[in-house]
Amino acid sequence: MRDAAPAPAATVLGEPDAPRHAVVLAPVMPRWDHGAFFQQVAEPLLASGHRITIYDTLSLLCEGDDLKALVDRWAAHLASGTDDPDLLAGNALGGAVVQALLTHEWTHRSKVLLLSGPTVADDELNTELERIAAAVGTHGLSSALHLLEEVVSGPAQKPGSVPRQRPQPAAAPGPAPDEAAAGRRLSTGLRLLHDADAREPVRNFPGPLLHLYGEQSLLVQAKHLATGPRPRHHLVGIPQAGMRPHADQPALTRDAVARFLGAEES
């Protein structure tokens, strides 16, 4: 994390002159993967005429920030763009940031897509996140990533086995020059979600909103997600998926996203 004037890191997919713009905020990852985590489910957005800007959520984090400070910095950056997003999406921490942004009126013209983005962190989620974050300091980055993989993986991944290959890069064996920085990104990013609560902005959001989550996730679960009392708010569980439904069940996740976009554009 930088001490001052951080600049957003981003990857852009799709045609630059596409008629719609989707903004995606990434989950916590020790090393920015340049948007690879989202590419398996980008197809419905590209097919519906969106260009997609995928941001590293932690790229705007400064030392000492809490979640509100990070949200405020993203609000200032996104509001200063040349066009309001037609769709706001976020995965995990990115989803928590997107939900907190919904207090801003300029977001009310957007559709909202959330992939395992917690609306509220209860004691159970707080404890799990802290257990993993603390492991960075006590056991090292590799051990912390192993703990994280155990709780976010889908049913095909058994605890104690070697983690499956994911678009998000894992820690390299042995010491790496950036391992300390990667560990700080992981532990600090996870701790940002402590006591997160965006239930009010979600309830008051007037536009279409879709929560997607993996039914077998051991970390962010349905009880951590909230929708408003509106017919255009939806909560959809992806079967046989952990916290990364877009990686565990990409076809089912793409179908759910396509149905959401189609229903709202018909």
pLDDT of residue 208: 96
Least-confidence region, from 92-101, 116-125, 156-165, 205-214: 156-165
Domains of the chain and any CATH numbers = 10-121+195-265 (3.40.50.1820), 123-190 (no CATH)
Q: Look at residue 151 and tell me whether its pLDDT is greater than 50.
A: yes
pLDDT band of residue 80 (cuts 50, 70, 90) is confident
Q: Each residue of 152-194: pLDDT tens digit? A: 987 655 444 444 434 443 444 444 558 999 999 999 999 999 9
Phi, psi angles (nearest 5°) of residue 124: -65, -45
Q: What gap in Å lies between CA 193 and CA 177, rounded to an integer?
A: 27
Q: Collapse the DSSP code of 80 into the 3-class scheme (helix H, G, I; strand E, B; otherwise coil) and give the result.
A: coil
Q: Each residue of 217-254: pLDDT tens digit? A: 999 999 999 998 888 999 999 999 999 999 999 999 99
Across the chain, what does the average pLDDT equal? 90
Q: Look at residue 201 and tell me whether its pLDDT is greater than 50.
A: yes
pLDDT of residue 81: 75
Q: Collapse the DSSP code of 237 into the 3-class scheme (helix H, G, I; strand E, B; otherwise coil) and give the result.
A: strand
Burial (CB count <10 Å: 0-12, 13-18, 19+), residue 143: middle
Is the pTM higher than 0.85? The answer reads yes
User: How does DSSP classify residue 165?
Assistant: P
Question: Average pLDDT, stretch 67-80?
Answer: 96
Q: Each residue of 18-43: pLDDT tens digit? A: 999 999 999 999 999 999 999 999 99
